[in-house]
Amino acid sequence: MKMNLYMEISVILILIVGFSVAYSMLKEAHKKHIKIFSVSFISGISLMLIWRTFHLFSYFN
């Protein structure tokens, strides 16, 4: 069970890093297609982050 818990935490940390990279791309982008890609990537990562966080909390119930 602890290995699964550590894996969940590492996945959440990787998603946070991906979110910050996509956000920095969005802030510095001047082309429209890069902005669209960044926004879609941020929304996908946000949904995955919420899903994995709720899955992590299920270990404690």
Is residue 2 helix, strand or coil? helix
Number of domains in the chain: 1
* Residues whose CB falls within 8 Å of the CB of residue 45, separated by 6 or more in sequence, listed in order: 15, 18, 19, 22
pLDDT of residue 50: 92
Tokens 């996908």 correspond to 44
Q: Using CA atoms, how far apart are residues 54 and 33, in angstroms rounded to an integer?
A: 32
pLDDT of residue 3: 61
pLDDT of residue 17: 94
Q: Which amino acid, 60?
A: F
Domain limits at 6?
2-60
pLDDT digits (tens, 9 = 90+) for 8-51: 889 899 999 999 999 998 888 889 888 898 999 999 999 999 99
Tokens 């429209």 correspond to 32
